[in-house]
Every structure is written in C-alpha cells, then in structure tokens.
C-alpha cells in the first residue's frame, strides 16, 4: 500500500463510468493504463505491476503539483518497460533476457531503412538546416508531406502545405491538440480498448480527460464483430459523461485501431463524423473531432462533414518502423488550430537535418513502392502467420483484423475467477519468465483476460518469445535459454 502525493492536487480523470479501472500498471509508455477519477491523497491497493511504492517518495517538496502528477504517471505505469530495459534479450550477450512482444514497433525492416537513410542524398548540411525555421516546419518538408498524403490517401484534390504542421511524434501531437482544443477538465470521447498512452498524452500538459466508449467482445444486436463501435454506443457514452457533469469536446478515432487492428470502413467513418458534427455543431463548440487516419485509408481526405473541426494526424512510427526518429504531422484546415499547435512546436520541433531527411524519404516514391512496401508487407505477413499458427496450436482464441503489428489474444480461460487481479498476476508470470506482453487493462478493456501480442519482430525472437509463452500457460516456471541454432526453429516463410 502506498500514498500518492497529497496537498491540493487531484489526479486526472479519465474513462468515466462505473466500469472505470482503479489501478495502474503497464509495460511501456506505449501501453499505459487509463486511470479513474481519484484524488492523490487516496491510497491505492497494492497490485502487481502498479509500480514500486518506494519509488514514490512522500517528500515531493521539490516538485510542483504538475511535477508530482508527471512523476506519479512515470512511477505508476512504467514498471514493465523499466524491467525490460534492465534485462533486454540479446542473442549473443544476454540470451536469457526479456523478449519484448509488448511494444508496438516494427523491427523487421531495419536493413531497408538503414540502407535508404545512409544514401548520399540524405547527407546534406546547409545553413538553413542549422538555423531557426518556421515552427510549422520547413516549407520543403510540408510540401512533401502534403504530396505524400495526397497520393497515399487518394485525395481527389491536392492537400495544401499551409495546412500541415510537423512535430516530433504522435505523442506531441496529441498533447498539443488536447491543450489547444480543450479547457482543463474537459474530455474527449474514445472507444475502448484504446492505445493507453493517450491518457498521459492528453493529461500531462492540458489536464484533459478521456470519456470512454466501452466496447465488449460479445456480438449483440446489430453488431457484426466483437468490440464494434456504433453511433448508439457513442451517444450512450456521451450521455453518461454529461450526467457526471463532464463537458466532452471531441472524439478520438485511431485507424487502424490499436489494439484491435480494426480498419474502420468508409461508411463507418462517415457515420462517426456525422455524429461528431451533429453533436458539436449543435453545441456551437469551436472544436469537435480529433481523427487519426491511417496511411492507406480506403476513405480519402475528402467528403468530411465538418472540415474545420476534423484534425488528421499521421506519424512514421508505425508505417515506416521509425519510432525512434520522432516524426509526426498534423493536417487541419482550421488555421486557428494550426497556428496554436505551431506555437507549441518551439518545444516539440524537429531538427533541420531530420526534416531534410524526412522530405527526401517521402519524395522517394520509387523506393517506397518498389522496395519498402512490398518487402515490409511480406515480412509482416510471415511473422503474423507464424504467431497466429502458434496461438491456434495452443487452442487460444484471438482477434486478428489484418492491420497493425499486433494480435488481440483472449486468455480469459487462464483466469479462473475472471478478475483484473488475475490478469495482472498472469502478466507478471509472463514477465518473470522473460517475455513482455501488454495486458488488457492497459487499454481500458472492461473484460479481464485480453492481451496484445506484437508480432513484428525477427524470427528467432518470435520463436523464443512464443516458447516462453507456452511454458507460462502450461504452468512451467523455468526460463528457457536461446536454442543453440535459432535458425532451425524459425518459421519457414519468415524473412530477416
């Protein structure tokens, strides 16, 4: 048991309603859990994965209330990732280290990216790249972003560079947008399960909440698939937030959905956008929707019911497997929003050298279409096939919708009482047996027992990771060493 920092400070409220979660514990900033309304002077039950209470010192006189909240997020929600970094698997140096199947990164195409980024056309230095630039980003980069999104999003009319703002990653985009769109204490609707780090992204700067639209695995009524989002469910969550006195200022859509891997159809997106326009136009609000569209949507950046309230985010972390490069872009036709976000880019900008490299990469359509995309797709497909077959061999149900780097896995049969405490204990057993996964509570899933398995990794690590998963589920506790010849255990169609 431990006490959070006291005095006149309250933790952020997210995911309103009776099914909101009471505790934190996660494997990475990518997998932060949502938390519910509570004051920091309340005590939290001590559960596995909540963080080390000793790390949260009662003496917080060095920090402001904001600083205490920021530190509290870190202490409470980074345990798994800290453990992983202290004991990372290395085939030669640490073969008994932790295999990371919990963080959604594409580790299959480093060879392709390394080659492209080391070519001579990437190595340019000129005075303008070493000086202050337009906080929206260099014009040459914003022009390339507009062309790139116009082409791959199949826009019927060219997107305009004046509507583009570039920042250092999607997390910064969420933080900036939440800060400029909402007053402190206001909220966004978000369907669950959702990418848990958004809780932190919208809270730490803007003190903005998330009002959850809870979805479940049971297919009922007019639903055609598990965890299906409908306008009726959006309306129900909105009414619930209103009943609790929370003002909801917009809707966050992640497409492809993380962790489900769903791709919203053009018809579904139109329904959600029409809902958003109806709700927030009726309120006369200046903002309404935050929409995150994929790189290759079947729905073009057109026919938006309310373009001034629709803000599109895209980043290279997933589509190009470059989460460490930190590149994200906002496209919005609302110039007030663009200007406000650009003002925050002085804290979240990209170096001139990185901007130049990104422009070169995005304009190289031949390399993207003929080398990167087909090879990336083939490697992802092979890795996905291997993990799917392993899960089927174990008799484990899972959802796999064909997008993203992950599979949403149903381990509820391993929880005798079906509680979140059991889910945390199972997650802990995986971690103790040197495989890092992400548990459902980290995504505000209301049903205990769901886990996200990331498959976008090299074959020998996938093989060893799944071997350790099998051991845990079979009730064995020992950690296996890396097999002498990892190649002999690789899936036959897996490419390096």
Q: Is the pLDDT score of 1 beyond 60? A: no
Opening angle at CA 179, ends 174 and 182, nearest 5: 110
What distances in angstroms separate CA 14 from CA 17, 192, 276, one per listed residue?
9, 12, 20
Residues 164-170, mean pLDDT to the nearest whole number:
95
Which residues of the chain form CATH 3.90.1150.10? 76-110+369-474
Check: CB of residue 313 under 8 Å from CB of residue 328.
yes
Torsion of CA 216, 402, 104, 137, to 10 degrees: -110
Which region holds residue 211: left if phi is over 0, alpha if psi is between -120 and 50, else beta?
Answer: beta
Contacts with 18 (C-beta within 8 Å, 6 or more apart), sequence order: none
What does the alpha-carbon distance between residue 54 and residue 261 come to, in Å, rounded to a whole number? Answer: 37
pLDDT in tens, 433-490: 999 999 999 999 999 999 999 999 999 999 999 999 999 999 864 444 443 333 333 3
Give the CATH fold of the 76-110+369-474 domain.
3.90.1150
Write down how long the chain is.
Answer: 496
pLDDT in tens, 248-305: 999 999 988 999 998 888 889 889 999 999 888 654 444 445 554 443 343 444 577 8
336: phi then psi, degrees, rounded to nearest 5: -65, -45
Which residues of the chain form CATH 3.40.640.10? 132-363
Beta-ladder partners of 291 = 253, 312
pLDDT in tens, 103-156: 999 999 999 999 999 999 999 999 999 999 999 999 999 999 999 999 988 888
pLDDT in tens, 79-89: 788 899 999 99
Which region holds residue 318: left if phi is over 0, alpha if psi is between -120 and 50, else beta?
Answer: alpha
Check: CB of residue 69 under 8 Å from CB of residue 12.
yes
- Domain 132-363 in CATH 3.40.50.12780: no
């Amino acid at each position: 048991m431990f006490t959070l920092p006291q005095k006149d400070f309250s933790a952020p409220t997210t995911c309103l309603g009776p099914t909101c979660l009471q505790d934190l514990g996660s494997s990475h900033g990518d997998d932060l859990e949502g938390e519910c309304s509570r004051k920091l002077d309340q005590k939290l039950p001590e559960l596995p994965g909540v963080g080390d209470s000793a790390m949260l010192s009662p003496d917080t006189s060095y920090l402001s209330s904001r600083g205490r909240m920021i530190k509290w997020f870190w202490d409470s929600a980074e345990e798994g990732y800290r453990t992983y970094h202290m004991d990372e698997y290395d085939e030669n140096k640490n073969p008994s280290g932790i295999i990371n199947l919990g963080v959604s990164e594409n580790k299959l195409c480093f060879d392709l990216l390394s080659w492209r980024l080391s070519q001579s056309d990437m190595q340019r230095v000129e005075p303008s790249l070493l000086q202050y630039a337009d906080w929206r980003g260099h014009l040459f980069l914003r022009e390339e972003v507009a062309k790139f999104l116009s082409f791959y999003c199949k826009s019927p009319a060219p997107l305009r560079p004046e509507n583009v703002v570039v920042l250092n990653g999607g997390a910064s985009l969420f933080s900036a947008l939440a800060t400029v769109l909402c007053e402190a204490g206001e909220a966004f609707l978000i369907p669950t399960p959702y990418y848990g780090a958004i809780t932190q992204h919208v809270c730490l700067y803007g003190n903005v909440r998330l009002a959850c639209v809870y979805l479940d695995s049971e297919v009922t009524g007019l639903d055609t698939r598990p965890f299906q989002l409908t306008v009726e469910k959006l309306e129900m969550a909105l009414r619930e937030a209103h009943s609790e006195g929370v003002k909801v200022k917009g809707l966050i859509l992640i497409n492809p959905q993380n962790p489900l891997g769903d791709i919203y159809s053009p018809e579904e997106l139109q329904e959600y956008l029409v809902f958003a326009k109806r709700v927030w136009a009726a309120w006369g609000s200046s903002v309404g929707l935050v929409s995150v569209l994929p790189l290759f949507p079947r729905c073009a950046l057109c026919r938006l019911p309310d373009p001034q309230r629709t803000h599109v985010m895209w980043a290279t972390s997933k589509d190009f497997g470059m989460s460490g490069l930190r590149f994200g872009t906002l496209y919005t036709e609302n110039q007030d929003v663009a200007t406000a976000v650009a003002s925050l880019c002085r804290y979240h900008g990209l170096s001139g050298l990185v901007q130049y490299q990104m422009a070169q990469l995005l304009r190289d359509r031949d390399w993207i279409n003929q080398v990167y995309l087909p090879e990336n797709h083939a490697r992802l497909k092979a890795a996905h096939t291997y993990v799917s077959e392993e899960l089927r061999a174990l008799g484990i149900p899972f959802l796999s919708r064909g997008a993203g780097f992950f599979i949403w896995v149903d381990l509820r049969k391993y929880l005798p009482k079906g509680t979140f405490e059991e889910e945390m204990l199972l997650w802990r057993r995986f971690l103790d047996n040197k495989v890092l996964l992400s548990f459902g509570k980290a995504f505000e899933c209301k049903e205990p027992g769901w886990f996200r398995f990331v498959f976008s990794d090299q074959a020998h690590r996938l093989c060893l990771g799944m071997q350790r998963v099998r051991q845990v589920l079979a009730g064995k506790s020992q950690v296996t060493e890396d097999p002498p010849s990892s190649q002999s255990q690789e899936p036959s169609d897996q490419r390096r």
